[in-house]
């Protein structure tokens, strides 16, 4: 009989790995989890959580500006970056402690260090080796920075959460959600912010109206956005950096953030030696059961580079553990997954974009409802910020196919909309629902005429 130290060995203590480890241990499975950086993974430490805390912090400058319109006299506010970092660190430490307690209380063995695979059932961490019947890789993603002259001078999103001090000028390279979010954060904290992107629109993959609208709102706030701009080289100067673009122009900045995407974090795992099948960008290929081409090896979350969202990773973990260790089946439905971008203003979206809907069906079968308006708060605040709401409907069935929003609390509003879409709500269902007045959300149940 083959002896195993564990039934399941999890590599990576991020959201997906921790969920899988806890659930399996709760079913009586002998589980170990290895982590070489920090419990909680990217989301807790250098992702979702600190990012949103920074978004809150950066938005106060607009709140102070808006207060005057409501009768408040506010003295000149002063921002303390070191205070924000200290407060953020306290919260992250608290969450790390919660993750540790959850694992310990579940009976999971926590192993600190870089894990590598020696064979299909053996994991090495430092000078120790562990045998396991199954191995789950949940190591997430890692910032990807292209090779350009001066690459050594840039920072990634990881370092943005621990800067010694704020720069006076920052250049952010990229057009995805991380770049857009940090542009809002830095601008809100008083940093002169330039966002540089090689494409002609931000946020590839989002609805076209959303992409155009959010860029306009960001520019209105004072963020400088340079489209169709490539970076050729970065040179260090006495007081910062000079960036040479493909348009023969030079940009000056004290800090350069590259938010040009993330790659599957597979370094040091030894996957190639075992013959684990990988995608072109290093993503671990898995089947519908999150199993690799080696039967005892499984992978989920961002390291598989399918849908890189924390809630998706935790859902995949639950699905895998239930499949392996119980008779319950909880497959993940990847359709209509809601998401938010904590830009300023926020973006919330669920379902098909207008382009996707017209491609899947036909132009004549798709109706688009859209509303652009001034949020009630800004009728007195004096701030020039608009909200966009958009609904995509299939005419032949009246089914709501997609809902998209740019505006305050978009993520909070779209979460409820996602339930309706997953339940198969029709436009008639929305029309017959009584709105909550006065709110922005009621706009989704009062849209009557399509724009096309």
Long-range contacts of 224-228 (CB under 8 A, 24+ apart): 224/192, 224/193, 224/194, 224/195, 225/183, 225/194, 225/195, 225/197, 226/194, 226/195, 226/196, 226/197, 226/251, 227/197, 227/199, 227/200, 227/201, 228/197, 228/198, 228/199, 228/200
Q: Is 437 a catalytic residue?
A: yes
Of 59, 121, 378, 437, the active-site residue reads 437
**CB within 8 Å of 343: residues ≥ 6 apart:** 177, 180, 181, 183, 184, 214, 218
The SS3 assignment for 393 reads strand
382-411 per-residue burial string, b: 16 or more CB within 10 A, e: under 16: ebebbbbbbbbbbeeeebbbbbbbbbbbbb
**CB within 8 Å of 250: residues ≥ 6 apart:** 242, 243, 244
Strands (DSSP E) found in 238-356: 240-245, 250-253, 255-258, 262-264, 297-299, 339-341, 347-351
| Spatial separation of the C-alpha atoms in residues 41 and 310, rounded to whole Å | 10
| Spatial separation of the C-alpha atoms in residues 145 and 158, rounded to whole Å | 12
Active site residues: 437
């Amino acid at each position: 009989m083959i002896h195993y130290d564990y039934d399941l060995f999890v590599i990576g203590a991020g959201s997906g790995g921790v969920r899988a480890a806890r659930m399996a241990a709760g079913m009586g499975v002998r589980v170990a989890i290895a982590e070489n950086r920090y419990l909680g993974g990217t989301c807790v430490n250098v992702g979702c959580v600190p990012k949103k805390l920074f978004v809150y912090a950066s938005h106060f400058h607009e709140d102070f500006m808006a207060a005057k319109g409501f009768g408040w006299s506010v003295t000149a506010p002063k921002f303390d970056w070191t205070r924000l970092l200290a407060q953020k660190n306290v919260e992250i430490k608290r969450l790390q402690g919660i993750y540790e307690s959850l694992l310990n209380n579940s009976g999971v063995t926590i192993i600190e260090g870089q894990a590598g695979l020696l064979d299909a059932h053996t994991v090495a961490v430092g000078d120790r080796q562990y045998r396991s019947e199954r191995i789950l890789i949940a190591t997430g993603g890692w910032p990807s920075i292209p090779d350009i002259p001066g690459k050594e001078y840039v920072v990634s999103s990881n370092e943005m959460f621990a800067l010694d001090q704020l720069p006076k000028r920052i250049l952010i390279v990229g057009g995805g959600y991380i770049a857009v979010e940090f542009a809002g954060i830095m601008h809100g904290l008083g940093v002169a912010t330039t966002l540089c992107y090689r494409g002609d629109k931000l946020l590839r993959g989002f609805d076209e109206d959303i992409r155009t609208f959010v860029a306009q709102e960001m520019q209105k706030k004072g963020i400088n956005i340079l489209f169709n701009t490539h970076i050729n080289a970065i040179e260090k100067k006495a007081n910062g950096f000079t960036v040479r673009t493909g348009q023969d122009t030079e940009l000056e900045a004290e800090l350069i953030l590259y938010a040009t995407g993330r790659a599957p974090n597979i370094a040091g795992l030894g996957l190639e030696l075992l013959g684990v099948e990988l995608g072109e960008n290093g993503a671990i290929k898995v089947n519908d059961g999150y199993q690799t081409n080696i039967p005892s090896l499984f992978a989920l979350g961002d390291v598989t580079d399918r849908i890189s969202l924390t809630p998706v990773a935790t859902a995949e973990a639950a699905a895998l553990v239930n499949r392996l260790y119980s008779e319950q089946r909880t497959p993940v439905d990847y359709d209509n997954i809601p998401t938010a971008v904590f830009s300023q203003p926020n973006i919330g979206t669920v379902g098909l974009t207008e382009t996707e809907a017209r491609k899947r069906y036909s132009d004549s079968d798709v109706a688009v409802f859209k509303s652009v308006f001034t949020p009630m708060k800004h009728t007195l605040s004096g701030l020039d910020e608009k909200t966009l709401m958009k609904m995509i409907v299939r005419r032949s069935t009246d089914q709501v196919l997609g809902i998209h929003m740019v505006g305050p609390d978009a993520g909070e509003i779209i979460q409820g909309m996602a339930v309706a879409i997953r339940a198969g709500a029709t436009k008639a269902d929305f029309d017959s629902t009584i709105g909550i007045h006065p709110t922005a959300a009621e706009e989704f149940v009062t849209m009557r005429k399509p724009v096309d």
